[in-house]
């Protein structure tokens, strides 16, 4: 099965490295993220904007940097952690 995310790309950025507070060493390098916004209807005739981030491999970042503001399609996989669903690019 293949899952495709189709949305307007709002931003591309590299997340901060995770640094161990005790010894100051970098434990994991920050990943590249694609950022999308979703308009979700609320109970009271309004809506809320939800920001989604999708991590992508560094070698694929150049494909997306010049597409900010455009609707893109992105093959993704899904992970679930503590009841929250996350997408990551493949």
CATH class name, domain 3-89: mainly beta
pLDDT of 72:
94
Radius of gyration of the chain (CA): 15
Query: Which are the contacts of 30, defined by CB distance < 8 A and separation ≥ 6?
Result: 14, 15, 16, 17, 18
In this predicted structure, the answer to whether residue 73 has a pLDDT above a threshold of 80 is: yes
Check: CB of residue 87 under 8 Å from CB of residue 52: yes
E strands within 1-90? 3-14, 18-19, 26-28, 32-41, 47-56, 71-81, 84-89
Residue 50: how many CA atoms within 13 Å on its side-chain side?
8
Per-residue pLDDT reduced to its tens digit, 29-67: 899 999 999 888 887 778 888 888 999 999 999 999 999
Confidence of residue 69 (pLDDT cuts 50, 70, 90): very high
């Amino acid at each position: 099965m293949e899952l495709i995310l189709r949305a307007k790309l709002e931003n591309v950025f590299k997340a901060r490295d995770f640094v161990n507070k005790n010894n100051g060493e970098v434990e994991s390098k920050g990943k590249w993220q694609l950022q999308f916004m979703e308009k979700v209807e609320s109970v009271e005739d309004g809506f809320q904007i939800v920001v989604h981030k999708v991590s992508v491999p560094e070698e694929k970042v150049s494909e997306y940097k010049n597409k900010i503001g455009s609707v893109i399609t992105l093959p993704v996989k899904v992970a679930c952690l503590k009841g929250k669903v996350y997408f990551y690019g493949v």
